């Protein structure tokens, strides 16, 4: 009988002595799981932001949807809405992150940007205030335009004149009339007349073709007239 009592007390003593260890291990597992979840959330957030950048680059700021972002990130819509309230918040975060990285480059390029029509000023840590843009600029594409303009100022062999040309070319392309833009017949006639009087008008400022010259023979063949 005493042996049984001793055995029971031994079991009880052993259980009591291991309880703090089990509790410590449980807290450790909780901290580890919490850290893993935080890492997972950060990875998903980074994937969504990277996908948003790709989507805007491919489709343009106005036409980028939540579905465009989630499909490129391979992340569910549910996860998207757990991290962002809506499309605008996600794209605003992209802009904030990009501007945070580009503040130094904007400061270095400030004289060039001012000559092009931008008015930029530091507005707190990692933030830049834009109070003026070149005439005709599309405000919906301002972040993309600024990123493209800055890229055009990097490593240009032609020096300052070459940089200024690239900045002007980017602004001109972003301000151009595009397919689907509402234009009345008078405006079309004026644009075509201006284009005919513009040196090098058959290409955009970047050198890409803006119109095609077709011979009469080609047109007759295309319409099965010859």
Q: Give the CATH number of domain 87-175; options: 3.30.310.10, 3.40.50.700, 3.40.50.2000, 3.30.1370.100.
A: 3.30.1370.100
Question: What fold characterizes domain 179-226?
Answer: formyl-coa transferase, domain 3 (3.30.1540)
How high is the pLDDT of residue 57?
Answer: 83
pLDDT for 31: 60
**Distance separating alpha carbons of residues 13 and 189, to the nearest angstrom:** 97
Residues 110-132 have pLDDT tens digits of 788 888 888 877 777 767 778 88
Residue 7: the pLDDT is 44
Q: What would the two tokens of residue 173 be?
A: 């392309």
Out of 1.10.3720.10, 1.10.10.60, 3.40.50.720, 3.40.50.10420, select the CATH number for domain 1-84: 1.10.10.60
Q: Is 165 exposed, middle or buried (0-12, 13-18, 19+ CB in 10 A)?
A: middle
> CATH 3.30.1540.20 spans which residues of the chain?
179-226
Q: Which two tokens stand for residue 54?
A: 């790709």
As to burial, measured by CB atoms within 10 angstroms (0-12 exposed, 13-18 middle, 19+ buried), residue 12 is exposed
- Please report the pLDDT score of residue 195 as a whole number: 79
Judge whether 81 and 69 are in contact, CB under 8 Å: no
More confident call, 20 vs 83:
83
- Give the model's pLDDT for residue 209: 79
What pLDDT is recorded for position 3? Answer: 44
pLDDT average, residue stretch 132-148: 76
- Encoded tokens for 16: 């009591």
For 26-49, write each residue's pLDDT tens digit: 555 556 556 887 888 888 888 999
**Are 113 and 72 spatial neighbours (Cβ–Cβ below 8 Å)?**
no
CATH 1.10.10.60 residue ranges in the chain?
1-84
């Amino acid at each position: 009988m005493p042996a049984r009592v001793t055995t029971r007390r031994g079991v009880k003593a052993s259980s009591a002595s291991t309880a703090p260890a089990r509790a410590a291990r449980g807290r450790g597992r909780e901290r580890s799981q919490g850290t893993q979840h935080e890492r997972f959330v950060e990875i998903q957030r980074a994937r969504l932001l990277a996908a948003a950048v790709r989507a805007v680059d491919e489709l343009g700021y106005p036409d980028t949807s939540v579905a465009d972002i989630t499909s490129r990130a391979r992340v569910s819509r549910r996860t998207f809405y757990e991290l962002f309230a809506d499309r605008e918040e996600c794209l605003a975060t992209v802009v904030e992150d990009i501007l945070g990285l580009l503040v130094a480059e904007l400061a270095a390029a400030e004289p060039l940007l001012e000559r092009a029509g931008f008015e930029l000023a530091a507005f707190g840590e990692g933030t830049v205030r834009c109070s003026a843009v070149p005439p005709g600029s599309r405000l919906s594409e301002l972040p993309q335009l600024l990123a493209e303009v800055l890229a055009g100022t990097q490593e240009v062999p032609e020096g300052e004149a070459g940089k200024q040309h690239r900045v002007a070319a980017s602004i001109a392309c972003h301000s151009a009339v595009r397919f689907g833009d509402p234009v009345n017949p008078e405006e079309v006639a004026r644009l075509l007349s201006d284009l005919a009087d513009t040196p090098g008008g058959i290409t955009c400022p970047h050198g890409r073709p803006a119109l095609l010259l077709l011979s009469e023979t080609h047109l007759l063949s295309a319409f099965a007239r010859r």
